[in-house]
Structure formats: structure tokens, C-alpha cells
Chains A and B, each alone.
Chain A
Amino acid sequence: MEQYGESESCHLLTIAKPVRYARKRIANLDASSPRELQASCCTAEGLYFCFACATGFHFADRRLGSLDLFHVFWTACISCNESILMLKQRRAYGSANIEVLVAASLLIAVIGLLSSMVPRLGNVWKASRNNQLATHELANQLELLTAIPELQRSQALENLRVSPDLTDALHNAVLRHQLLDDASGRRIVLSIDWERTVDAKPISMVAWLPSQKTGGELRQESDTRGTP
């Protein structure tokens, strides 16, 4: 019986299958089976066997709707007038236009998102490069300020300005300094700020100076903070 691969829910067999097998199958059906029957894998219109009268009916094309891979049909046996519900397998080759359109829409949406990401990525790289340039500039300035004598340092602090090479990258960059002398030591706090597309805190760096009282050895420590 299983040689035809029939499932137990399939109560109707096409004439393409051996008639002997079909009659045997119909004869074995339970009397309490529902009057409305289902058949799967019906491939074409033609003569089908009705197990109620075991004589056969003609499958008429009365389509009720579609379920996933099946079209649902209703027909009646021409002998016993039994109503029969049938599922005819849909022959779905390729993809429907609507599926292609949905795929195209999704792809266009993804491309749109990616396209908007590219300039943002560029801006992130630019901001990162500018931050690095600003940090190095602070380190360079502090390096010079802590290496020169005290008198020259005061003059240098008065004339503090960003290196001309960086004016293109850091628009309207401004250097600010603060000389502090407290319990933490004598130090210069240098900060740099420039025009950015987003609000961000200036970058600061600290350099310790030799104590004027002790004239101790020069010590420098630096710290960056306020990076956006």
C-alpha cells in the first residue's frame, strides 16, 4: 500500500493509480469517516474515485480559494452526490512579480541605508583624525613649553597659537592655557577647541613644571580628557 507513497489523510486516488489498489483502499475505509473528504496531490482534472459509492466522480473546477501550496476545490460525486473537498497542489515555478517587487524594495531600502552610512563613516574617520591631530598638537606645545626657560615660557604662553599646518584640519582652533600651582604641583593645563559638527568638550592636557622653590628635576605627565 505504501508503495505509492499515499498518506493516511489522502482518501482519493487518481485514475493514474491502479484501479485495484484504489478499490481496495476504498473498501477498507471506516464507515464513520466524515462526509467531506480531502484529497491531496491532485494534479489535473479527470476521473477520481469516491469511496462513498466506489464508482467515481468527475473533478469539476470549482475553486474556493488557496492555501499555501494548494488550491481548494469543491466538487460532488456524480453517482452518490456526496460533497467532496479537494486540495489541488499549486504548480509554483520561479517567483511571482509581487515577490520580486518586495525583494527589490527591501534591497533598495538597504542600499539607501548603506549610502547614508558612507558619509557618516567618513565623518567619523575625519573626527578621529582631527582628535589625534589635536592631541599631538597639545603634546607638541607642552613639550616645547616645558623645555624652554621660565622667561621664554611666559612669552610663549602669551603668543600661544596652533601650528599653521593644522589650520586646515582644525578650523578656528583656539589654544587656552592655565598655570596652576597648588598641592598637586606646578603645572600647565593646555586645552584646544575647534569647530566641530557636533558639540564636544575641548581636549585638555597637563604638563608638570619643575618647582620654583626646589628647582627639582623636570617631570612631565600628560592626560587627555574630554574627548568626544
Chain B
Amino acid sequence: MKRNGISLIETVIAVSASSLIFLLTIGVLHQTMLLSSKAKSRTDFHQSNIRLAKYFRDDVHQALQMKLADDGSLELTLKDSETVTYRMENGVGSVVIREVKSSGGENREQEVFRMLDTASCKFEIQDSPDRVTLELDSEIPGETGLARVEMRVSATANRWPNVTAHFGATP
């Protein structure tokens, strides 16, 4: 006997399989977008860290005086009373800001280093020899309250007092 149309069981199987495929596709898409976002954020953070470490070392090497402010920011005094300030701001995203001011308090440069949202930044001044350490921590994903070290840079102050005169201003 010739049968036209499709049976109920075929319809149920087709609908179930289609639903499964749809759900799996949505899952894959979501996961891919999430991974892409994480990878981009991670790459930005990595690049920022490299830039920040370079600026930080250069500034501290030229610093004649170092001071930690109450809000946790670091102020470096260079020659000609120029000051460089490093501070962290947590707004829409976490950033570390480097500001260069002339002796008259006029803003000369500002650099922004994008961090992970859960990142925190702390400075520590040590002596013998005079040096300052910058430590960047971030919260371990999925484990609230636990932090891991992302970067730890230590530089000695007034390291090459004569080098800047020879090579010119640092970038």
C-alpha cells in the first residue's frame, strides 16, 4: 500500500533532532563568542602589561624621589621637578594611568593601560638600594577572593643618572 505523508514518530524524531541541533548550535556560537572576547581581553592585557613594564622601569630609573600616596598611587619626581604619577582607576574597566606633569603642575603626557576587570595594582617602596615594585594581581576566574600575580616589576631608582642626558628623554 502506498503511503503518503509522514508518521507521527517521524515528526517527533525530526523535531527532537532539530531542537538538539539548534541548542547545540546556539551553545557553540555562545562559547565561541565568549572565548573570542576572553582572548581579545587577554591579549590587550598582555600588551598593556608589556608597555606598562617598559614605562615603569624607564621612569623609576630616572626618578630622584619616590612617594606613595594615601590612595595607593605612586609619585616619582624626576629631574627639573617633573613628576610622574601611576594610579589605578576602576570605572567601566580597570585601567592604570600614567601622568607626567611639569614642575608647574601642567599636564604633559597621559598614558592609559587597560587591565582585566578583576585586576588590582599595588606599589611597594623598598630601600638598600632604593627601589619600587609594581605588582598586578587579578582574581582567579571562578574563585572569588583568590588572586594570582599577573605581573611583578621591580626597578631601582635613579639608576642611570647620566644615561638620560646621553640618550635623551625617555619615551
Report the nearest A residue to B60, measured CB to CB.
Answer: A143
Number of A-B contacts (CB under 8 A): 82
Question: Whole-angstrom distance between the alpha carbons of A61 and B160 in the complex?
Answer: 98
Q: Does B152 contact A (CB under 8 A)?
A: yes
Which secondary structure dominates where chain A touches chain B?
A: helix
Say yes or no: B156 contacts A143, CB within 8 Å.
Answer: yes
Instruction: Report if B33 contacts A (CB, 8 A).
Output: no
Residues of B within 8 A of A137 (CB): 152
Check B152–A166 contact: CB distance below 8 A: yes
Q: Which residue of chain A has the shortest Cβ distance to B129 in the bound complex? A: A147
B153 and A136: CB pair below 8 A?
yes
| Contacting pair A218 B17 (CB below 8 A) | no
CB <8 Å contact, B28 and A168: no
Q: Are B148 and A169 in contact (CB under 8 A)?
A: yes
Q: A129-B150, A165-B149, A165-B152 are in contact. Are A114 and B32 (CB under 8 A)?
A: yes
30 CB contacts below 8 A, A to B, read A94-B14, A95-B14, A97-B10, A97-B13, A97-B14, A100-B14, A100-B17, A100-B21, A104-B20, A104-B24, A111-B27, A111-B28, A114-B28, A132-B49, A132-B50, A132-B151, A136-B152, A136-B153, A139-B57, A140-B152, A140-B153, A140-B155, A143-B155, A143-B159, A144-B129, A144-B154, A147-B129, A147-B156, A169-B149, A217-B162
Task: Across the A-B interface, give the 10 residue pairs with the lowest CB-CB distance, nearest first.
Answer: A140-B154, A100-B17, A147-B156, A147-B129, A107-B24, A104-B21, A165-B149, A136-B153, A143-B156, A111-B28
